[in-house]
Amino acid sequence: MTGYFADKGVGQRYDRYRPKAHQALFQIMKLHLPVERFERAVDVACGTGDSTVPLLDIARDVVGIDSSSEMLNIAQERGFAVRKADYTALAELGRFDLISTCMAFHWFDVAQAVAVYKAASQPGAVWIVYNFSFLGHATSHLFNEWFRNDYLARYPSPPRTRYENMKLTDDPELCTLASEKGWLPITFSLDSLVGYLTTQSNIEDAVRKGRDLNAIVSELREDLSCIDLTGTFQYAYSYEILQYAGR
């Protein structure tokens, strides 16, 4: 993995400012699951535990793993059963009938991840791979112009595997149960929007390259204070629900 979301303070910011959209999306995804309740589930790259919460309603035994101590400290404080482990060590935890991964698969070596997930799967196991992304404001052209032309120009996204290039459905041992893209409406105040942007790998990458986080925050606040943020923003989602046909 890249090691993003491991720097000091990122866990607290992530827990405070990331939209809690996982349960809302799971209400949609649950309709496509083959059973109402699984026996053993794992949340790969569980982070602070937001993606673990909906699994508690559909699985009897849930464990989360993540390679970032900063993120796991928050998850442990929230009372979740978690372990520090990279995705490559997943099979060492035994076999699962549900493997869920939110906003992390694009950081993995896809071929290696698929092989590890298979080794950790019970026959017929379900894999849920889903992502969220920030599309901008639903109606404010001024904000969207700033986001595209100023913010992303100053703070480009670090390289990662594009979701549409993963081609998990090309694997003959994986059957697609459902796949969908859409967006959920969310709202931000000036403070929460600036806080959210500081949780993105774009900002973490800039800090690692020498930028001061407090200076970035001041810069973002100054820029955004001139823009009307009322109304809704678009929090895009995409998911694939797959079933493993191997032994």
Dihedral of CA 73/238/199/205: which sign?
Answer: positive
Exposed, middle or buried, 113 (CB in 10 Å: 0-12/13-18/19+)? buried
| pLDDT of the residue at 170 | 84
Q: Which residues contact 47 (CB under 8 A, 6 or more apart)?
A: 5, 11, 14, 66, 68, 71, 74, 75, 102, 103
Specify the pLDDT at position 159: 79
Question: pLDDT value at position 162?
Answer: 65
Q: CA dihedral in degrees (50, 51, 52, 58; nearest 10)?
A: 130
Give pLDDT tens digits for 64-73. Answer: 999 999 999 9
b/e map 98-107, b = 16+ CB within 10 Å: bbbbbbbbbb
Query: With a cut of 50, which residues of the chain have pLDDT below it?
Result: 1
Q: What angle do CA 75, 76, 79 make, to 5 degrees?
A: 95
Helix (H, G, I), strand (E, B) or coil at 214: helix
Instruction: Map out the domains of the chain as residue ranges.
Output: 10-136+161-186+233-244
Given this model, what pLDDT does residue 146 score? Answer: 98
CATH code that applies to domain 10-136+161-186+233-244: 3.40.50.150
| pLDDT > 70 fraction of the chain, expressed in percent and rounded | 95
Tell me, what's the pLDDT at 6?
54
Which tokens sit at 75? 């998850």
* pTM recorded for the entire structure: 0.92
Predicted pLDDT of residue 1: 44
Contact status, residue 125 vs residue 99, Cβ threshold 8 Å: yes
pLDDT tens-digit series, residues 194-237: 999 999 989 989 998 999 999 999 999 999 999 999 999 999 99
Token digits of residue 244: 């493993």
SS3 call for 171? coil
